[in-house]
């Protein structure tokens, strides 16, 4: 049975420790703000304004029309039009351009005859993800230009308007502008809360051992569960404040839509934060020194949350052994909750499995932490 009086006393003591060190308190509140701004603006999966060089061997009105269509697209930044391959090779080697479009000498002649004209696209493949996106953009732009030329040729020869047998109409749900920021920022909230919660609490028990205060706790009737809840209460308030700051910043600074329930979002944040704080306390109980606790906290919070949660890298594309490990990463489920609430506006009827798994995770870590602290207090 938990004694609320002893738990409140432990929480009050931890609050006093925090407020006596205002610099640490300010850092705990400022770090999420800085991380969200830094990652939110710097980390982008959008590929716009690809530096492009054009080798126009045709030098015809048709080739100039194609170049104009490339210049008019937001996906390309035509930096120069050259007359040989040599400038392209030098520019790609230096990294000043990523893509080159080569228009052959017979381009205009084939276009005017209604024949298929070839266009060569050269891409720097050292960044394979960006290169594949750039190729897709180039194919779309050149295919669109070819369709316009085909329609003009048919109209000039009295064939009438061309109607393709199949017309594709695409519609994007939940993120119609395909902004990577809408995808990244909700995931960032999960990563930041995981890191901050683990680091805030991973040092607390280790600090008690280093300062010799744990011996004082041994002489009190304080139970391990009361110690965990008391120490966690103050950090829970800080973590909840960080979550409010992150959500407000995502709406105000980044314009990420929030279509779902704020109540469900608050419930998810509280469960995830409780589990993350318990994990930090467990790390702190395992490590006797603050340096080791800090290193273990970073290793077990930031890396799994960033790499194995689906935040950036799709889990389905990972090797089987790695994807299995991702099932024990709580950020995986919290990111699914955040994206569902922010972008899709879905509710408990869809997100209950993720919330249940987070609840189970928090309960298990809390029980293991209390048991570990009981062993520490006995030993």
Q: What is the pLDDT of residues 339-371, one digit of tens each?
A: 999 989 999 999 999 999 999 999 999 999 888
Mean pLDDT of 31-41: 82
Band of the pLDDT at 114, cuts 50, 70, 90? confident
Interhelix angle 180-202/224-252, nearest 10 degrees: 150
Distances (CA, A) of 313 to 88, 288, 309: 32, 34, 8
Q: Which residue has the higher pLDDT, 219 or 161?
A: 219
* pLDDT of 217 higher than 70: no
Say how many residues make up the chain: 379
- The string of pLDDT tens digits covering residues 228-271 is 888 788 889 888 998 999 999 999 988 899 999 999 999 999 99
CB atoms within 10 A of CB 84: 9
Least confident of 59-63, 95-99, 206-210, 300-304: 206-210
Q: Which residue has the higher pLDDT, 250 or 16?
A: 250
* pLDDT of 175 higher than 90: no
Pairing state of beta strands 120-123 and 99-103?
antiparallel
pLDDT value of position 109? 85
pLDDT value of position 362? 93
Buried b (16+ CB within 10 A) or exposed e, 39-71: bbeeeeeebeebbbbbbbebebebbeebbeebe
Calculate the CA dihedral of residues 369, 375, 376, 379 and round it to 10 degrees.
180
- The string of pLDDT tens digits covering residues 363-374 is 999 999 888 877
* pLDDT of 165 higher than 60: no
Domain 50-156 classified CATH 3.40.1710.10?
Answer: yes
* pLDDT of 214 higher than 70: no
* pLDDT of 379 higher than 70: no
Instruction: Read off the tokens for 135.
Output: 């190729």
Percentage of the chain exceeding pLDDT 90 = 17
pLDDT value of position 167? 54
- List of long-range contacts for 343-348, beta carbons under 8 Å, 24+ apart: 343/174, 343/175, 343/182, 343/183, 343/186, 343/256, 343/257, 343/259, 344/174, 344/259, 344/260, 345/259, 345/260, 346/260, 347/260, 347/261, 347/264, 348/264
Q: Which residue has the higher pLDDT, 182 or 170?
A: 182
Cross-sheet strand order for the sheet of 50-56: 76-82, 50-56, 99-103, 120-123
The rounded distance, in Å, linking the Cα atoms of 350 and 64 is 52
pLDDT value of position 215? 63
**Mean per-residue pLDDT over the chain, rounded:** 83
Q: What are phi and psi of 309, to 5 degrees?
A: -105, -5
Q: Which residue has the higher pLDDT, 3 or 233?
A: 233
Q: Which residue has the higher pLDDT, 62 or 203?
A: 62
The domain locations on the chain are 10-44+179-378, 50-156
């Amino acid at each position: 049975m938990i004694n609320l009086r002893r738990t409140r006393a432990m929480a009050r003591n931890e609050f006093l420790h925090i407020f006596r060190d205002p610099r640490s308190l300010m850092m705990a509140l400022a770090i999420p703000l800085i991380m969200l701004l830094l990652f939110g603006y710097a980390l982008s999966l959008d590929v716009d304004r690809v530096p492009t060089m054009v080798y126009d061997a045709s030098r015809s009105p048709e080739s100039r029309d194609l170049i104009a269509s490339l210049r008019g697209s937001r996906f390309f930044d035509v930096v120069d039009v050259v007359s040989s391959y040599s400038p392209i090779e030098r520019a790609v080697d230096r990294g000043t351009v990523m893509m080159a479009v080569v228009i052959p000498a017979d381009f205009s002649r084939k276009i005017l005859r209604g024949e298929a004209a070839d266009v060569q696209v050269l891409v720097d493949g050292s960044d394979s993800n960006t290169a594949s996106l750039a190729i897709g953009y180039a194919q779309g732009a050149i295919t669109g230009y070819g369709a316009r030329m085909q329609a003009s040729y048919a109209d000039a020869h009295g064939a009438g308007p061309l109607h393709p047998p199949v017309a594709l109409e695409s519609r994007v749900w939940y993120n119609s502008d395909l902004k990577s920021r809408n995808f990244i920022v909700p995931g960032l909230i999960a990563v930041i809360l995981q890191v901050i919660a683990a680091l805030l609490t991973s040092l607390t028990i280790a600090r008690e051992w280093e300062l010799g205060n744990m011996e004082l706790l041994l002489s009190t009737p304080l139970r391990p569960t009361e110690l965990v809840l008391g120490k966690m209460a103050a950090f829970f308030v800080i973590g909840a404040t960080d979550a409010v700051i992150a959500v407000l910043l995502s709406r105000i600074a980044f314009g990420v839509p929030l279509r779902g329930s704020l109540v469900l979002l608050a419930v998810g944040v509280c469960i995830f934060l409780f589990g993350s704080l318990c994990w930090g306390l467990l790390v702190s109980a395992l490590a006797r020194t603050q340096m080791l606790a800090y290193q273990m906290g970073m290793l077990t919070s930031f890396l799994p949350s960033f790499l194995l949660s689906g935040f950036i890298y799709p889990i389905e594309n990972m090797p089987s052994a790695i994807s299995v490990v991702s099932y024990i990463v709580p950020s995986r489920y919290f990111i699914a909750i955040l994206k569902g609430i922010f972008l899709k506006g879905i509710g408990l009827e869809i997100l209950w499995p993720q919330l249940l798994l987070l609840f189970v995770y928090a309960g298990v870590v809390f029980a293991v932490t209390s048991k570990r602290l009981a062993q520490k207090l006995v030993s």
